Amino acid sequence: MSVNGDGVGGTEVGSAAAGVVHRLAERHETLATVESLTGGSLAASIVNIAGVSGVYRGGLVVYATELKATLAGVPADLLFDRGPVDPDVAVALAEGGRQRCGADWGLATTGVAGPEPQDGKPVGLVYVAVAGADGSEVRQLDLGGGRDHVRAEAVIEALRLLFERLAAATS
């Protein structure tokens, strides 16, 4: 991705993360992440940016379904009824991370990277979600490619979603 001061475009994770970190720093706001599908890749892309300590509060990697409830605060009945790959679960992850880490923004990923479908959900089905003081937003992604590609694209799209929310909040 290239960052031209105001926008995020292309596909490079580092530039997308830099755009988010710099925008958060300008706004004096903080971020927390909660990851399932991406297993820490989202947090790693963020903490690679110089100056991140002023904005990144921390994150959770909740790969096991029960940890989504116990650590991230996703309602157990929601997980039981719909499973971990669901838009409302993604939102609950983002909101849970925001609350548990005391951050202004929460960013979350959940989905199926493959190689096999999970609980009837196809490989490449991903949800990324952001939660802030003004509410939450979730985006469904239907990604092709192998496991590594699905996970990398989920990181990029999560960062893009947050960047767009930050840009909209300042307009």
Q: What is the CA radius of gyration of the chain?
A: 15
CATH architecture of residue range(s) 2-170:
Alpha-Beta Complex (3.90)
Mean pLDDT of the chain: 92
Distance (Å, whole) CA 147 – CA 155? 13
Q: Cα separation of 88 and 102, whole Å?
A: 21
Residue 9 corresponds to which tokens in the numbers above? Answer: 């475009």
C-alpha distance from residue 60 to each of 4, 26, 39, 89, 106 (Å): 30, 25, 9, 15, 11
Instruction: Read off the pLDDT of residues 115-156 as tens digits, 9 standing for 90 and up.
Output: 999 999 999 999 999 999 999 999 999 999 999 999 999 999
What is the mean pLDDT for each group of 10 consecutive residues in the chain (171 residues)? 36 85 97 98 97 97 97 98 98 98 98 96 98 97 96 97 92 64
pLDDT at position 11: 40
Please state the pTM of the whole predicted model. 0.92
